[in-house]
Amino acid sequence: MDFKSLLAIFLAAILTENYILNKFLGICPFLGVSKKLDTATGMSVAVIFVMVISTAVTYPIYTYVLVPNGLSYLQTVLFILIIAALVQFIETVLKKYIPTLYRALGIYLPLITTNCAVLGITMLVIDKGENYIEALVNALGSGVGFLVAMVIFAGIRERLEHNDIPKFLRGLPTTLVAASLTAVSFLGFQGLVDGMLR
């Protein structure tokens, strides 16, 4: 568990296993709030925040409470509950103690409860059998990957707004085809991390 393997996990989570473009998790916010750069960044930062914190909380609960007691089938129910409670808690704490951060991120927090990216990462790190540090790095990397995809896309969509596109292709269809082309370019990173660091 050296620095190199952690870096490999981090880069893989951003580039080769990008949450949006490769795993299709968090498509709703991706299509819904990527219209403007500032909302896209706000949403992604909130997602990074919640992803890391919920992984930090669910991982020990799964390993030290559910598994020793043979309750691992409760994973789905418990995780979604923990995430919902956690998001609520973060919202309250931010509102009380860090109002500036709350104003920036607060509006996105309720949306994140039912975001599959968050539930996805907490389950994925357990599926992969990563240890605690690796899991946290993976969560951070996946969050950053989400941010990268959202920011790239906000730029593309701001450009698309001004183009003359047939009416039935406007909006979602063009966005999806553009997402497809972006995903093709992200395929180019395949093997990069293995080749460089492992």
Partner 1 sequence: MEEKKSLWQEFTKGLIRENPVLRLVLGCCATLALSTSASNAIGMGLATTFVLICSNFVISLLRNIIPDTVRIPCYIVLIAGFVSFVQMLIEAYSPALKAAMGIYLPLIVVNCIILGRAEGFANKHKVLPSIFDGLGMGLGFTLTLFVMGCIRELIGSGTILGFQIMPTSYPGIILFLLPPGGFFVFGILMAITNRIAEGKGEPVSELGCAHCPMAGCCSISAQKEKGADK
Chain positions contacting partner 1, by CB under 8 A: 21-28, 31-33, 73-77, 80-81, 84, 106-108, 110-111, 113-116, 119-120, 123-124, 127, 167-177, 179-181, 183-184, 187
Closer residue to partner 1, CB minimum distance, 7 or 111: 111
Shortest CB 69 distance to partner 1, Å: 16
Shortest CB 34 distance to partner 1, Å: 10
Closer residue to partner 1, CB minimum distance, 93 or 177: 177
Residues 6 or more apart in contact with residue 89 via CB below 8 angstroms: none
Check: CB of residue 59 under 8 Å from CB of residue 126.
Answer: yes
Closer residue to partner 1, CB minimum distance, 11 or 83: 83
- The DSSP H or E segment spanning 75 is helix 75-97
Strand, coil or helix: 189: coil
Going from the C-alpha of 59 to that of each of 73, 125, 135, 146, 154, the distances in angstroms are 15, 8, 8, 21, 32
Measured between alpha carbons, how far is 155 from 163 in angstroms, rounded to an integer? 14
Shortest CB 2 distance to partner 1, Å: 27
Shortest CB 3 distance to partner 1, Å: 28
Closer residue to partner 1, CB minimum distance, 8 or 175: 175
